[in-house]
Amino acid sequence: MLMKKLTANSFARCKSKFAATLLLTSFLSACATAPGNYLDTSRLKEDDQNRPTETYPVHLIDASVITAQAQAAAAKTQVLPTSRYTDPSQYVYRLSPQDILGITVWDHPELTTPQGSTLSSGGNTTQSIGGALQQPYTAALPGQADPYGQTIASDGTIFFPFVGRIKAAGKTTSEVRDQLATGLVRYIRNPQVDVRVLSYRGQKVQVTGEVKTPGPLAISDVPLTLVDAITRSGGTNPDADIQRVRLTRNNQLYVLDADRMLDRGDTTQNVMLQSGDVINVPDRTDARVFVMGEVKTPIQLPIIRGRMTIADALTQGGGILNTDANPRQIFVMRGMREHPTRPEVFRLDMTQPDSIMLSSQFQLQPLDVVYVGTAASTTFNRVLQQVLPSVQTLFYLRQLTR
């Protein structure tokens, strides 16, 4: 009888242990059946040889770093495009193929361009190419008189009665006028000739990017500058970055700061444009910084007017977390676009009295990463938060199997 009782008790204990083992196995394999997304890493093999082993020097942000930063900004030289004219007062428009001329010979209406049929008001009017093409215009064959004016042919010439074919491209209206008067003097006593441009179609610049009306703009007898081109394109969109306007001239790229012209009166940025120039007003995609780590709101921030400090970035990110952040580890990672494997690292110690002033003076650059480190106690607590649920579950399983 006693043997039967012991056998029954042993069987019950084995049954309980088996149930506990089955329950524990099911718990440990719950990751394979639990709802939600997960990645099965059993088929992934990481190559240990590709792990980075390089260390990066860290520059402590102090007064000397701020001074060096200011000196580097002052010594930075900007390459500006060369212009044919050093002063706008020297600018002279020279005719080009496809320009349309209006020619007047006083007291000889048969030789005069019909009045009221011009393509534009002439004078100092600068119109867009699109506006000129929308106006009534009958294309003349090369060498023939256009009913709305004289169109300069692709070879740079025009044909005028009694004078014949003359070269117009590359000359000013005054030079063409004198040439026509000289040719007519054999047929008309003391000819009075006037030449004006009815439509500027031969020279143009392209304006692209974050402007309200992108497209070509005609160059006329009025000098066309960078600010003029942006204004005549309807102005900029809200996301435009006018601190980094790109000018392509003769297969070379220049970066201009139109804001320095508008905000500080730096006329060197308001360059005079010439035919063939391409203006691109970019958005702020490349003019932003990233705030990460132990801050209340990790965020990416656009750099407004070309200036942003560490204090600006941390403030817009809601500030550092009082319970989790390590104020001695305010890092700035820089240069990762040009040197992705060798970034330049700066560190600010916010526990020092002068760090508040330094944070408002250290200037960030586009694509900088501001990272706030984690306190050691926070790291330990986070490990405990991950471990404690598993420990508690094992403890309760052990209690149930007793």
Per-residue burial over 280-299, b if 16 or more Cβ lie within 10 Å, else e, is bbbbbeebbbbbebbbeeeb
**pLDDT (tens digit, 9 = 90+) per residue, 165-212?**
999 999 999 999 999 999 999 888 889 999 999 888 889 999 999 999
Return phi, psi of residue 248, to 5°.
Answer: -105, 120
Residue closest to 149 by CA, chosen among 126, 115, 192: 115
pLDDT > 70? residue 24? no
Work out the percent of the chain whose per-residue pLDDT is above 90: 30
CATH of domain 284-402: 3.10.560.10
pTM for this model (two decimals): 0.67
> Worst-scoring range by mean pLDDT, 29-38, 137-146, 215-224, 327-336?
137-146
| Top-confidence range, 139-153, 168-182, 295-309, 330-344 | 168-182
- Residue 12's pLDDT band (boundaries 50, 70, 90)? low
Per-residue burial over 140-166, b if 16 or more Cβ lie within 10 Å, else e, is beeeebbebbbbbbeebbbbbeebeeb
Work out the average pLDDT over 136-156: 61
CATH number (3.30.1950.10, 3.30.930.10, 3.65.10.10, 3.10.129.10) of 97-199 reads 3.30.1950.10
Alpha-carbon distance of 274 to 263, in angstroms, equals 24
Which pLDDT value is given to residue 80? 82
E runs forming strands in 200-287: 204-209, 215-218, 245-249, 252-256, 278-281
Q: In terms of pLDDT, which residue wins out, 350 or 390?
A: 350
Q: In terms of pLDDT, which residue wins out, 38 or 59?
A: 59
As beta bridge partners, residue 281 has 209
CATH of domain 204-281: 3.10.560.10
Total Cβ atoms within 10 A of residue 362: 21
**pLDDT (tens digit, 9 = 90+) per residue, 256-291?**
988 888 877 788 888 999 999 999 999 888 888 999
Q: Is residue 180 a contact partner of residue 163, using CB atoms and an 8 Å limit?
A: yes
Mean pLDDT of the residues in the chain: 79
CATH 3.10.560.10 domain extents, the chain: 204-281, 284-402
**Residue 10 burial (CB < 10 Å; 0-12/13-18/19+)?**
exposed
